[in-house]
Chains A and B, each alone.
Chain A
Amino acid sequence: MPQIAQIAATYASQIFWLLIIFGLIYVGIGKGMLPKIEATVEARDQKIASDLAAAEAARAKADETEAAYRASIEEARNASLKAKAEAKAAATLEAEKKVRAVDAELAAKMAVAEAALKGAQARALGEIESVAAEAAQEIVTKVSGLTVDKAAADRAVKSALAA
Chain B
Amino acid sequence: MAAESGKIDPMHQFLIEPLFGQDWAIAGHNIAFTNSALWMVITLAALWLFMLGGMKRELVPGRWQVMVEGFTGFITSMMHANIGPEGKKFTPYVFSLFMFILIANILGMMPVGIVGVHPFTVTSHLTVTGVLAIISFSIVLIVGFWRHGFHFFSLFVPHGTPGYMVPLIFMIELFSFMIRPFSLGLRLFVAMTAGHILMKVLAGFVINGLNAGALTVAIVSIPSFILMIGITLLELLVCAIQAYVFALLTSLYLNDAIHLH
Which of A20-28, A74-82, A114-122, A152-160 has 4 or more CB atoms under 8 Å from chain B? A20-28
| Partner of A38 from B18, B36, B72 at Cβ < 8 Å | B72
B70 CB to closest chain A CB (Å) equals 10
Q: A33-B52, A33-B55 are in contact. List 20 more A-B contacts (CB 8 A).
A: A2-B12, A3-B14, A3-B125, A12-B26, A13-B30, A13-B31, A13-B33, A17-B31, A17-B40, A17-B41, A19-B131, A21-B43, A22-B135, A25-B99, A30-B91, A30-B96, A37-B69, A38-B91, A40-B58, A43-B59
In the complex, what distance in Å separates the CA atom of A38 from the CA atom of B18?
Answer: 39
The answer to whether the Cβ of B34 comes within 8 Å of any Cβ in the partner chain is yes
**How many interface residues does chain B have, given as a range?**
35 or more
Assign chain A's interface to a size class: 35 or more
B73, A25: Cβ atoms under 8 Å?
no
Task: Among A10, A34, A44, A47, point to the contact of B72 (Cβ < 8 A).
Answer: A34
Residue of A nearest to B52 (CB): A33
Known: A30-B95, A37-B54. A17 touches B36 (CB 8 A): yes
B96 and A29 within 8 A (CB):
yes
Residues B32 and A13 in contact, CB atoms below 8 Å apart: yes
Main secondary structure, interface of B, reads: helix
Residues of B near any A CB (own CB < 8 A): 11-12, 14-16, 18, 26, 29-34, 36-37, 40-41, 43-44, 47-48, 51-52, 54-55, 57-59, 61, 68-69, 72-73, 76, 91-93, 95-96, 99-100, 122, 124-128, 131-132, 135, 189, 193
Chain A: residues with CB nearer than 8 A to chain B? 1-4, 6-7, 9-19, 21-22, 24-26, 28-31, 33-38, 40-41, 43-44, 47
Of chain A, the residue at the smallest CB distance from B90 is: A30
Closest 4 CB pairs of A and B: A30-B92, A12-B29, A17-B37, A30-B96
A31 to B127 Cα, complex, angstroms: 25
> Of B12, B34, B99, B189, which is within 8 A of A13 by CB?
B34
Interface of chain A, main secondary structure: helix
Given contacts A12-B26, A17-B40, A38-B76, contact A29 B128 (CB under 8 A): no
Tell me whether A25 and B127 are in contact in the complex, defined as CB-CB below 8 angstroms, given that A13-B32, A47-B59 are known contacts.
no
- Contact among A18, A28, A33 for B131, CB-based, below 8 A: A18
Residues of the B chain whose Cβ atoms lie less than 8 Å from the Cβ of A28: 48
Contact between B30 and A1 (Cβ–Cβ < 8 Å)?
Answer: no
Query: Contacts A6-B16, A33-B51 hold; do A14 and B127 have CB atoms under 8 A apart?
Result: yes
- Distance in angstroms from A20 CB to nearest chain B CB is 8
